């Protein structure tokens, strides 16, 4: 009976706590539903379409019949489904296994990781390179490890979210200059002269607008004011510049950019993975202090194999780069002739500027009905009033694919009043 009494009293004492927990959960659900309803009401809800095939210029999408032309992947060179890239991934999987079950410094470094890092450094003409699970992680790891409260970082206001988040993690003094505004950058550099190190941080190509950083002017100002230059090349590596080295090659400043971060998940195979490349001593420091490197599992061997083969193909020939540039120009010129406003210049990111979030979403849905996969972008991914459909050209699109996409845009644009 004494035991039964203890159980009864415990049940009674637990009841209020259980009730409070349920009440807190109900409160949380109410807050979340209100927030989600606000997103729906603003027309900025982001639905995820399900692809049931491999990535490529033509894909299969759940809920649709037949093949769909894909115009919104970062598959710039079409290498994500290249047979040699896939075979290299299979070979690495067979030889080195599915994964390392470890971080790099414990027991997660294989010979293929070191080989790929050396290949990346050679490709960018830098001293060394370090791999990360993603370029988001590379940006998260760099600034905190490199910069101290004695230093300063100067960042373009439209830099990628991963750069912004990475800068937030460091204790350096933070300056933000107006987008591509060199007069404002110079003013900020003058103000930052009192700090030990000064690092100018910019995207090479800005992914939402397709515009390119004026690296010649940035490097000139950096030299004048004793600053270093960091460039995120995720939307440039593999296809900008004569041999695809990126915006620093395109603009002739490869010897003036100190640090490059980029990705393996776009042009270089399209899987995942990122890296930092630059001075050997910096890479050594990152191996000791970069938290995303120290506390994340090693890149899977199949990903490493695919990326390594993608680099090989790129370094063998620049024919793919030239093909993509010609198709980009074809799309841009035809869309502008039809009356659309296309942001950026000469970049395969071709934002079709629409302004209204709901219009962008509805037009993207109607494009899918016509066999074209594109996505509307709106706040908070882009500023309010700057909604667009971001079209991305791939080297493996045919000219007929380009023309069909333009024709669908014209038809849908007229349907929704975006064109007369």
Tracing tokens 């007069």 back to the chain, one arrives at 183
* Residue 253: both structure tokens together: 């400043």
Length of the chain: 420
Strand order in the sheet with 68-70: 58-59, 68-70, 372-373
Q: Verify whether residue 46 is a known catalytic residue.
A: no
State the Rg of the chain over Cα.
24
Element (H, E) at 335: helix 319-338
Q: Verify whether residue 378 is a known catalytic residue.
A: no
Cα-based angle 358, 160, 192 (whole degrees, multiple of 5): 130
Would you call 378 exposed, middle or buried from its count of C-beta atoms within 10 A (0-12, 13-18, 19+)? buried
- Please report which residue ranges of 173-289 form alpha helices under DSSP H: 182-191, 215-224, 247-250, 280-289
Choice among 207, 298, 308, 378 that is catalytic: 207
Choice among 160, 188, 195, 266 that is catalytic: 266
Q: Verify whether residue 188 is a known catalytic residue.
A: no
C-alpha to C-alpha distances, 264 to 251, 273, 287, 327, nearest whole angstrom: 22, 5, 19, 23
CA dihedral 328, 260, 302, 122 (to 10 degrees): 100
Choice among 124, 235, 309, 327 that is catalytic: 235
* Residue 289: both structure tokens together: 């202090």
Positions marked catalytic: 207, 235, 266
């Amino acid at each position: 009976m004494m035991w039964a009494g203890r159980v009864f009293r415990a049940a009674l004492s637990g009841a209020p706590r259980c009730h409070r927990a349920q009440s807190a959960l109900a409160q949380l659900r109410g807050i979340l539903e209100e927030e989600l309803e606000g997103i729906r009401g603003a027309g900025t809800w982001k639905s995820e379409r399900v692809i049931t095939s491999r990535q490529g210029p033509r894909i299969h999408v759940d809920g649709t019949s037949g093949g769909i032309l894909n115009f919104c992947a970062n598959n710039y060179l079409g290498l994500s489904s290249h047979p040699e890239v896939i075979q290299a991934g299979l070979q690495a999987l067979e030889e080195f296994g599915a994964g390392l079950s470890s971080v790099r410094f414990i027991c997660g470094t294989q010979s293929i990781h070191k080989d790929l890092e050396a290949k990346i450094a050679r490709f960018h003409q830098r001293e060394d390179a370090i791999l990360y699970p993603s370029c988001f992680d590379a940006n998260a790891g760099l600034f905190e490890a490199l910069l101290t409260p004695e230093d300063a970082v100067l960042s373009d206001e439209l830099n990628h979210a991963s750069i912004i988040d990475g800068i937030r993690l460091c204790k350096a003094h933070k300056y933000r200059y107006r987008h591509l505004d060199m007069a404002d950058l110079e003013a900020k550099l003058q103000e930052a002269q009192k700090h030990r190190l000064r690092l100018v941080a910019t995207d090479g190509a800005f992914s939402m607008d397709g515009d390119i950083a004026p690296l010649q002017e940035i490097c000139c100002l950096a030299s004048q004011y004793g600053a270093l230059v960091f460039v995120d090349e995720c939307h440039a590596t593999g296809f900008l510049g004569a041999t695809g080295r990126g915006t620093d090659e395109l603009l002739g400043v490869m010897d003036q950019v100190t640090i490059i971060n980029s990705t393996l998940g776009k042009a270089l195979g399209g899987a995942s993975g990122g890296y930092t490349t630059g001075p050997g001593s910096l890479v050594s420091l990152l191996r000791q202090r970069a938290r995303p490197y120290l506390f994340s599992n090693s890149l899977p061997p199949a990903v490493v194999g695919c990326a390594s083969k993608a680099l090989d193909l790129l370094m063998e020939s620049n024919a793919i780069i030239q093909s993509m540039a010609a198709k980009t120009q074809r799309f841009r010129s035809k869309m502008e002739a039809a009356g659309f406003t296309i942001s950026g210049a000469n970049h395969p990111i071709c934002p079709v500027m629409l302004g209204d979030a709901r219009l962008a979403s509805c037009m993207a849905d109607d494009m899918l009905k016509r066999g074209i996969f594109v996505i509307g972008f709106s706040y908070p991914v882009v500023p309010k009033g700057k909604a667009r459909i971001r079209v991305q050209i791939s080297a493996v699109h045919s000219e007929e694919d380009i023309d069909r996409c333009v024709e669908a845009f014209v038809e849908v644009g007229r349907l929704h009043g975006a064109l007369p």
